[in-house]
């Protein structure tokens, strides 16, 4: 069963079961969030804790494997990245989506 863009909850299989693989890139889930992580490159110490904790793989890496930003198309705003960011660095803070970028 293929879930199409614009489907409602009635179209989702019982239990929300994912019946096919490789679908995560098809759905940009960033519109779900009410708050967004804001990353400050100047403060980032490149510990990669945010990258390791992100359940959506929304922390972007560059060619050298360094943190390069956040992919807001897929970030759901859970705040795990900000929670694990070392307090002394404070490179990621959560902002209300209504505050803008």
The answer to whether residue 101 scores a pLDDT higher than 60 is: no
The count of other CB atoms within 10 Å of the CB of residue 35 is 18
Short-list 8, 98, 85, 99, CA closest to 41: 85
Q: Could you read off the pLDDT of 65-96 as tens digits, one per residue? A: 999 999 999 999 999 999 999 999 999 999 99
CB 101 within 8 A of CB 38: yes
Q: Could you read off the pLDDT of 12-67 as tens digits, one per residue? A: 777 767 677 666 667 778 888 899 999 999 999 999 999 999 998 999 999 999 99
Collapse the DSSP code of 35 into the 3-class scheme (helix H, G, I; strand E, B; otherwise coil) and give the result. strand
The model carries a pTM of 0.73
Sign of the CA dihedral 52, 74, 45, 98? negative
> For residue 84, what pLDDT is reported?
97
* Domains present along the chain, CATH in parentheses: 28-99 (3.30.70.20)
- Locate 20 and state its tokens: 């096919």
Residues 33, 46: Cα–Cα separation, whole Å:
25
> For residue 10, what pLDDT is reported?
79
């Amino acid at each position: 069963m293929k879930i199409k863009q614009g489907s409602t909850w009635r179209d989702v299989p019982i239990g929300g079961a994912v019946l096919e693989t490789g679908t995560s890139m098809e759905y940009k889930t960033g519109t779900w969030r009410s708050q967004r992580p804001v990353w400050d490159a100047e403060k980032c110490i490149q510990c990669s804790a945010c990258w390791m904790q992100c359940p959506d793989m929304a922390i972007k890496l560059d060619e050298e494997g360094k943190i390069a930003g956040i992919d807001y198309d897929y970030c759901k705003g859970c705040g795990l990245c900000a929670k694990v960011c070392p307090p002394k660095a404070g490179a990621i803070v959560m902002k209300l989506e209504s505050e803008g970028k």
